[in-house]
Structure 1
Amino acid sequence: MDQAQAWPEDAVEVGRILGAFGVKGWIKVQPFSFDASALAASTTWWLHLERPGLPTRQALKVLALRDHGEGLVAQVEGVDGRDEAERLRGGLLSVPRAVFPKTPDGEYYWIDLIGLQVVNTQGQDLGKVIDLIDTGPHCVFRIAPPGIEQPSPKQERLIPFVGAYVLDVDLAAKQIKVDWSPDWESEA
């Protein structure tokens, strides 16, 4: 474990440590995504853990990683026994956004969509994406209307992230173009 490395400016939380795995210091990791490729793409994980006697933030050098059930198990440098691994339980793991694998055309990481401005085909500003909801078949944008930072559930807009409504995602322009009328929520 390395305390000297600086925390990356583009760090994104991608998982958490569930506890020890075995007796040789391996840890169980729960990825925050079905696709754990961001964790696998980085040889250094950034651990945030509030524990007496441990630094709040530190770098973990990943020595080995493999799938295990619905999660991962990993061996990290400097953690050589079960007790040491167990002390890391609950720690949040981040990796730099820059190491995320490239996505195929038309696919996006949620972290890249949050904060984008949403406009409709008439040029009306519908607000900013504050989160996404995974419904199984598709995702749904949670959008804060213009001028509202933390909308109540009744104030926010929900727009399905499907081709029928989402016409264009322009990451460079930080904008999503949709075929959506601001009146549709009041008509439901």
Structure 2
Amino acid sequence: MSTALVPSALPADAVELGRIQDAWGIKGWVRIQPHSADTDALFASQDWFLQPPEARFARGFSAFSGCVTVRVAELKAHADGLVARLDGVADRNTAESLKGCRISLPRSAFPETPEGEYYWVDLIGLDVVNREGVNLGVVRDLMATGPTSVLVLEYPVVEDGVEKSAERMIPFVSAYIDEVDRQARRIVADWQPDY
């Protein structure tokens, strides 16, 4: 294990933001594949938490086990992702040994968003109700559809006496979203269950 990879505990509010794809160049840089187009949090933090790849992608991985913290020396946008130079990673072989590592940051380290803008992670799990107070479901995911995002809700339905989950989608735009109350963990939408 590199001396720059310091064993640590993953913060309770950690959010996975990307992965190390591979080495980039010969001087120890790594190519990062962010999970979102919004990379502000990665740029705002000097310390990243790394975890090994999931088991199905970890074949041959031996750089470290558990969770480690690494200091980011440089980070730049490049092509369709990012490239980073990490302290203590000075050659291509060491950079290649980190391939597949998951990059996380504590949610508390994210930069503040402007009024009316939200990180996707803050919307997942919120209850969605319409103006009449009818429960429309819980935000399970968000989907990027070009210029807008779409809330993907999960809600229960009963089919043949068996309760199952169904999916509903609501565009996350001001025409349909009246209020996002993160404290109450609720979104109010101008939407009907039969849309």
Normalised TM-score (structure 1): 0.89
Normalised TM-score (structure 2): 0.86
Q: CA deviation at 1:69?
A: 1.8
Partner of 2:73 in structure 1?
63
Whether 1:19 and 2:22 are equivalent positions in the alignment is: yes
Partner of 2:36 in structure 1?
33
1:70-120: CA deviation from partner (whole Å, max 9, x where unpaired) = 222111122121011011111111111111111111110000000000011
Aligned CA RMSD, in angstroms, stands at: 1.9
Closer/same/farther in 2, CA of residues 182 and 33 from structure 1, 3 Å limit: same
Q: CA deviation at 1:150?
A: 7.8
2:63, 2:97 within 8 Å by CA — same for their partners in 1? no
Partner of 1:141 in structure 2?
151
Q: CA deviation at 1:147?
A: 7.5
1:144, 1:150 within 8 Å by CA — same for their partners in 2? no
Partner of 2:113 in structure 1?
103
Q: CA deviation at 1:24?
A: 1.3
Unaligned runs of 5+ in 1: none
Q: Which has the higher strand share?
A: 2
How far, CA to CA, are the matches of 2:70 and 2:178 in structure 1? Answer: 41
Q: CA deviation at 1:146?
A: 4.4
Closer/same/farther in 2, CA of residues 53 and 134 from structure 1, 3 Å limit: closer
Aligned residues: 181
Whether 1:72 and 2:82 are equivalent positions in the alignment is: yes
Partner of 1:170 in structure 2?
181
